[in-house]
């Protein structure tokens, strides 16, 4: 029974990723022809986020406004608007937010972000806003 629940949970996570990427590409068909290095390499980062109790999507927006410029400087750029999960179609996962990002250097982008004091000063706000233990984050590579 436990394996069935875990399997269903991961299926739903990947469904959320697929829907987010599909929305990204349908919202901006130019992405399919974009010549940016991240899109050519097919490097993406998807976060499926749970908010801490009492926090709202507006709180998440405040956090992202503070860090977007810093993380973009290291090659992590949002390629879609942030998505608010409005309906869970199936399964036992209930995150509130999904984000899709391009990653210019999958090997070093996050190492560089997590060694940058300009980012690290916002980690307490991140942790107060998001339930990091329940949230899911994935690095994706385009299938060849």
* Torsion sign, CA atoms 138, 142, 143, 144: negative
3-state secondary structure of 102: strand
Q: Please tell me the distance from the alpha carbon of residue 137 to that of residue 17, in angstroms, as a whole number.
A: 10
| pTM exceeding the 0.75 threshold for the entire prediction | no
3-state secondary structure of 76: strand
Q: What is the pLDDT of residue 116?
A: 98
Q: What is the pLDDT of residue 38?
A: 45
Measured in degrees and rounded to the nearest 5, phi and psi for residue 53 equal -55, 130
Residue 8, both tokens: 């269903």
Q: Which residues of the chain are under the pLDDT cut of 50?
A: 6-7, 10, 25-33, 38-39
Q: Please tell me the distance from the alpha carbon of residue 144 to that of residue 130, in angstroms, as a whole number.
A: 34
Q: What is the pLDDT of residue 26?
A: 45
Q: Where are the beta strands (DSSP E) in the chain?
A: 43-49, 76-78, 83-84, 97-103, 136-141
Measured in degrees and rounded to the nearest 5, phi and psi for residue 140 equal -120, 150
Measured in degrees and rounded to the nearest 5, phi and psi for residue 28 equal -145, 85
Q: What is the pLDDT of residues 121-143, one digit of tens each?
A: 999 999 999 999 999 999 998 77
Q: Please tell me the distance from the alpha carbon of residue 47 to that of residue 38, in angstroms, as a whole number.
A: 17
Going along the chain from its start, the domains and CATH numbers come out as: 2-141 (3.30.70.100)
């Amino acid at each position: 029974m436990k394996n069935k629940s875990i399997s269903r949970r991961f299926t739903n996570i990947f469904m959320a990723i697929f829907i987010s990427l599909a929305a990204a590409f349908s919202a901006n068909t130019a992405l399919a022809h974009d010549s940016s290095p991240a899109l050519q390499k097919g490097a993406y980062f998807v976060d499926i986020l749970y908010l801490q109790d009492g926090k709202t999507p507006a709180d998440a927006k405040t956090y992202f406004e503070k860090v977007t410029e810093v993380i973009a400087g290291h090659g992590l750029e949002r390629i879609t608007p942030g998505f608010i999960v409005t309906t869970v179609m199936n399964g036992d996962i209930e995150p509130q937010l999904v984000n899709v990002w391009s990653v210019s250097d999958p090997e070093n982008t996050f190492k560089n972000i997590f060694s940058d004091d300009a980012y690290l000063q916002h980690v307490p706000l991140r942790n107060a806003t998001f339930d990091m233990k329940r949230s899911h984050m994935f690095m994706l590579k385009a299938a060849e």
